[in-house]
């Protein structure tokens, strides 16, 4: 069984949406605010929470988050400046406002932020790594700002490991002409609950490659928002996720084309295995009336490897001008089915290797797009580890 939508050349027909429930109005009308009062605790029926396990996220909805549950370690390229600053630093809060409850609780509770700055015209000679490690179950807020000053170039990798309960803000500022790659890897141990608001703001001719990789943790919900502020901006958003039994992995993207001549590409792919594995992908793209000559395409694919897993996929494209270069989206959820397995096994290939072949094939092109060899190698290793688990799902044996 495969569910597919493919609108490679969507037209300017206003709201263009697929999904069981029609979203409430335009994405442009969604409330954003720095104030807790403006974005109350959700009941779970709101559009942006309707797929989420609100009960498991409760601790992160509260206003009184602590700051001690995660440690932050940075290993920076020599060209890059790393600071730990107080919350009143003027550079914080410049990449858009919080758009949902966990984003607003994260904003109001953090005490210190980590700022990674790539100075103007600097080209980082190596990857800068920011590691957030969960050390206790206490609900915690954290804030990271990555600033690529004009005409700088760098790759910054955020790693999340250990186990924690974290509401996080990742601000990404890409100034004029800068080329920045930000990779966020969620590879938490069991028990982790993580909500992360990524807010990116791009200047003139700025390029951002934004990569999200989610493997571990009980509940992981990442909401990357991207806003273009001047012409010539380009964003490539790539995501890869692999959900196991009872894991909830949610990725909600919003690309705001507010100005002309910008380009966005979104490609997210996920695999699911085991009962109760649930993934959600929502891709909102808004092309405002002023954003002429916009070029956008988003794609989500899911591969369901076993029974009892559920993938929700909702692309939304709102187009307020007819003067665009291109706009489209595609979504498909397919199963690794008995026929595929039979075909490969009938060629002498044992079951575990057949699954490996199919899953590797599914992710191959995407991994290649990341363009950071260290990250690519780690991803391949993580996928192999997930596949080891998948054999235990098939055979019912416990995981090692």
Partner 1 sequence: MPTLEIRDLHVSVETKEGPKPILRGVDLTIASGETHAIMGPNGSGKSTLASALAGHPKYTVTSGTATLDGEDLLTMTVDQRARAGLFLAMQYPVEVSGVSVANFLRTAKTAISGEAPKLRTWGKEVKGAMENLRMDPAFAERSVNEGFSGGEKKRHEILQMELFKPRFAILDETDSGLDVDALRVVSEGVNRAKEETDIGILLITHYTRILRYIKPDFVHVFVDGKIAEEGGSELADRLEEEGYDKYLGANKTVSA
In the complex, the residues that contact partner 1 under the rule CB under 8 A are 338-340, 342-351, 353-354, 357-358, 360-365
Using CA atoms, how far apart are residues 398 and 4, in angstroms rounded to an integer? 34
**In the complex, least distance from residue 356 CB atom to partner 1, rounded to whole angstroms:** 9
For residue 6, the tally of other CB atoms under 10 A from its CB is: 11
**In the complex, least distance from residue 1 CB atom to partner 1, rounded to whole angstroms:** 14
**In the complex, least distance from residue 282 CB atom to partner 1, rounded to whole angstroms:** 23
- Residue closer to partner 1 (CB basis): 115 or 358: 358
**In the complex, least distance from residue 87 CB atom to partner 1, rounded to whole angstroms:** 45
**In the complex, least distance from residue 397 CB atom to partner 1, rounded to whole angstroms:** 17
Which residues neighbour 382 within 8 Å (Cβ) at sequence distance 6 or greater? 187, 213, 215, 242
Using CA atoms, how far apart are residues 26 and 23, in angstroms rounded to an integer? 8
Which residues neighbour 198 within 8 Å (Cβ) at sequence distance 6 or greater? 170, 172, 182, 184, 210, 212, 222, 223, 224, 225
Q: DSSP letters along 380-392, please? A: HHHHHHHHHHHHH
**In the complex, least distance from residue 332 CB atom to partner 1, rounded to whole angstroms:** 10
- Residue closer to partner 1 (CB basis): 365 or 384: 365
- Residue closer to partner 1 (CB basis): 34 or 342: 342
Confirm if 131 and 95 have CB atoms less than 8 A apart: no
- Residue closer to partner 1 (CB basis): 188 or 242: 242
Q: DSSP letters along 220-238, please? A: EEEEEEEEE-STT-EEEEE
- Residue closer to partner 1 (CB basis): 293 or 345: 345
Which residues neighbour 33 within 8 Å (Cβ) at sequence distance 6 or greater? 39, 97, 98, 104
Phi, psi of 389 (to 5 degrees): -60, -40
**In the complex, least distance from residue 354 CB atom to partner 1, rounded to whole angstroms:** 8
**In the complex, least distance from residue 310 CB atom to partner 1, rounded to whole angstroms:** 21
Sign, CA dihedral 23-24-26-28, equals negative
Confirm if 302 and 271 have CB atoms less than 8 A apart: yes
- Residue closer to partner 1 (CB basis): 185 or 358: 358
- Residue closer to partner 1 (CB basis): 190 or 364: 364
- Residue closer to partner 1 (CB basis): 155 or 359: 359
**In the complex, least distance from residue 241 CB atom to partner 1, rounded to whole angstroms:** 17
- Residue closer to partner 1 (CB basis): 341 or 372: 341
Helices 351-370 and 373-395, axial angle in degrees (round to 10): 150
Phi, psi of 96 (to 5 degrees): 90, 165
Confirm if 113 and 90 have CB atoms less than 8 A apart: no
- Residue closer to partner 1 (CB basis): 17 or 340: 340
Strand order in the sheet with 207-216: 2-7, 326-335, 295-304, 263-272, 234-243, 207-216, 179-187, 153-162, 128-134, 70-75
**In the complex, least distance from residue 336 CB atom to partner 1, rounded to whole angstroms:** 10
Using CA atoms, how far apart are residues 301 and 313, in angstroms rounded to an integer? 8
For residue 320, the tally of other CB atoms under 10 A from its CB is: 16
């Amino acid at each position: 069984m495969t569910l597919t939508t493919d609108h490679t050349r969507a037209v300017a027909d206003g709201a263009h949406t697929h999904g069981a429930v029609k979203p409430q109005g335009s994405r442009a009308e969604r409330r954003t605010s720095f104030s807790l009062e403006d974005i109350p605790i959700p009941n779970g029926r709101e559009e942006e929470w309707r797929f989420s396990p609100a009960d498991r996220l409760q601790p992160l909805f509260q206003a009184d988050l602590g700051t001690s549950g995660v440690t932050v370690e940075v290993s920076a390229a020599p060209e890059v400046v790393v600071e730990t600053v107080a919350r009143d630093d003027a550079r914080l809060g410049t990449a858009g406002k919080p758009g949902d409850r966990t984003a607003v609780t994260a904003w109001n509770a953090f005490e210190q932020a980590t700022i990674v700055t790539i100075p103007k015209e600097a080209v980082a000679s190596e990857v800068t790594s920011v590691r957030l490690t969960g050390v206790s179950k206490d609900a915690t807020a954290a804030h990271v700002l990555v600033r690529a000053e004009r005409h700088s170039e760098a790759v910054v990798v955020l790693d999340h490991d250990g186990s924690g309960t974290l509401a996080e803000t990742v601000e990404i500022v890409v100034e004029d002409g800068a080329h920045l790659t930000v990779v966020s890897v969620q590879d938490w141990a069991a028990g982790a609950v993580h909500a992360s608001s990524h807010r990116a703001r791009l200047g003139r001719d700025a390029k951002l490659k934004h990569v999200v990789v989610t493997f571990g943790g009980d509940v992981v919900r990442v909401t990357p928002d991207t806003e273009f502020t001047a012409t010539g901006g380009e964003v490539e958003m790539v995501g890869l996720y692999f959900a196991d039994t009872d894991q909830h992995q949610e990725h909600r993207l919003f690309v705001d084309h507010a100005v002309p001549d910008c380009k966005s590409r979104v490609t997210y792919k996920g695999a699911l295995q085991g009962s109760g594995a649930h993934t959600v992908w929502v891709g909102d793209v808004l092309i405002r009336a002023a954003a002429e000559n916009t070029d956008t395409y988003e794609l989500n694919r899911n591969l369901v490897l076993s029974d009892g897993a559920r993938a929700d996929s909702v692309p939304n494209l709102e187009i307020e001008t007819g003067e665009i270069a291109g706009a489209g989206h595609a979504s498909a959820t397919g199963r690794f089915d008995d026929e595929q397995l039979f075909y490969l096994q009938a060629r002498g290939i044992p079951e575990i290797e057949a699954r490996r072949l199919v899953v590797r094939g599914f992710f191959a092109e995407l991994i290649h797009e990341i363009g950071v060899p260290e990250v690519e190698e780690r991803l391949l290793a993580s996928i192999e580890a997930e596949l080891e688990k998948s054999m235990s799902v098939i055979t019912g044996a416990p995981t090692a």
